[in-house]
A and B are shown apart, each in its own frame.
Chain A
Amino acid sequence: MNIRTLPIGVSPFDQTRAMSSSGAHPTEDAGYWSWQMAAVSERRDRDSFMRIYDHFAPRVRLYLRGLGSTESQAEELAQEALLRLWQRADRFDAMRGSVSTWLFRIARNLHIDRVRREPLWQSIGEEWIDEDIPPANTTERHVEQTDLAARIDTLPAVQARLLRMSYFEAKSHQEIADELVMPLGTVKSHLRRAFLKLQSGLKEFP
């Protein structure tokens, strides 16, 4: 059993347990999506694309709602993010990142551009990625993604919570500090430690 066949409504914690108890290796998961993406890019394979859609579209919608998009904005932007993946499939390179990171970046930029109306974000991040990240062995990248997932699971609870608040609510570090009644310096040092921990062991690009 893997993540895609889990019954709906399973909590992330149960999901992690289900995955580890089944013995499914998450590396295969990241590889699976890249493989589907390659079929889209090379053959415009609609079935492969719809597999990606079915798995990721609800996750992108959930992420966008967390950022503050309304229900209908989230639906619209998620459709647009996935459509962009279809349209720009030839620019997706499995060796330069995972499908989930690509979608995360597109969804974030769309939200900031359309909902927050900050035009700076339209193209900027995508271009940096295209230019910078040297092609690496694809398996290596999947292992990195898997490592990252495993490392997130081992973060101290407070660090994991702050990270999720930052990513899923796009709260400024000051807002997080206010909400948790925690000094800003403490919030920042927790986040800094979390980042360094997640970064360590990942291959540094030159």
Chain B
Amino acid sequence: MSPRHHLDETTVLGWASGALSPEMAAVAATHLDVCRHCRSRLATAEGIGGTLLEQQQPSTDDAMRMPHLREHMLAALDAHPNRRVPPRREEATAGPDNLPRALHPYFGTSWRSLRWRWLAPGVRMIRALRTSGHALILLRIDPGMSMPLHSHGGIELTQVLAGSYDDELGHFGVGDAADLGPETLHRPVTSAGGPCVCVAALDAPLRFPGWFARMLQPLVGL
């Protein structure tokens, strides 16, 4: 899979510096898991972190603590010889029924056990419960549906998990990320074929300009 729509630079930097909310990080991880290009950019962003770490200048207080901590470290070296640790990869990512691993804490591991909630004709949703304040939702939209025109109060980070859609920004298929800021106004239309399933993290309510969409807003609760 080679995604054509990627994470914004600020999202890559946010991941590297640990500044993303858990919900944004979960969606970003879902993209990073399938996107070599963004993993490569992440390696650069982490290289920046390493360089900044190295450039720091510890204080004298730190030096005072050193002998004590150093002794502990030397003792730990004896207690922990080098060991070979096989790379960890969760098996759960493999099967066709498995949700992307970064979403497991929020939606469980299985596609089949998802309990979709009817939202509007052709639109189903699941909203993650235990979140830090940002919303995290799974959306399942029937083929050929036109979503209301909307913009975002803040950031909307969406990853396409199945199917595809088109909007003013282009065609978004499986693996693509839509990393949208408040300036984006768009009207996604799902493609023919299967339903389009996306996971999205939002840090502020969506803004619907139309009256129909405004009526919908309390139902969506976003």
A→B interface (CB under 8 Å): 6, 8-12, 15, 40-41, 44, 46, 49-50, 53-54, 56-63, 67, 75, 79, 82-83, 86-91, 97-98, 100-105, 107-108, 111-112, 118-121, 123-133, 144-145, 148-149, 152, 163-164, 166-168, 170-174, 184-185, 188, 191-192, 195-196, 198-199, 202, 204-206
Known contacts A11-B57, A87-B83, A188-B181; is A105 also within 8 Å of B49 by CB?
Answer: yes
Determine, out of B10-18, B112-120, B121-129, B205-213, the stretch whose residues face the partner at the interface.
Answer: B10-18
Q: List the count of A-B residue pairs having beta carbons below 8 Å apart.
A: 220
Instruction: From the candidates A60, A79, A112, A148, name the one contacting B76 in the complex (CB within 8 A).
Output: A79
64-79 of chain B: CB within 8 A of chain A: 65-66, 69-70, 72-74, 76-77
Complex Cα–Cα for A131 and B40 (A): 11
With a cutoff of 8 Å between Cβ atoms, the chain B residues found around residue A87 in the complex are 80-83, 85
Q: Point out the residue from A49, A112, A131 that lies within 8 Å of B18, measured CB to CB.
A: A112
Interface of B is mostly: helix
The 7 closest A-B pairs by CB, nearest first: A101-B50, A58-B58, A100-B50, A205-B40, A100-B54, A104-B49, A170-B18
Contact B47 A98 (CB under 8 A): yes
Chosen A-B contacts, 25 in total, with CB atoms closer than 8 Å, are A40-B82, A49-B77, A54-B70, A59-B56, A61-B58, A83-B80, A97-B47, A100-B50, A101-B49, A101-B50, A103-B53, A104-B50, A105-B49, A108-B49, A132-B39, A149-B54, A164-B52, A166-B19, A170-B18, A171-B19, A172-B21, A173-B10, A185-B183, A202-B44, A205-B40
Report yes or no: A58 in contact with B62, Cβ–Cβ below 8 A: yes
The reply to whether A75 and B49 contact each other, CB–CB distance below 8 Å, is no
Given contacts A54-B70, A101-B50, A191-B10, contact A120 B18 (CB under 8 A): no
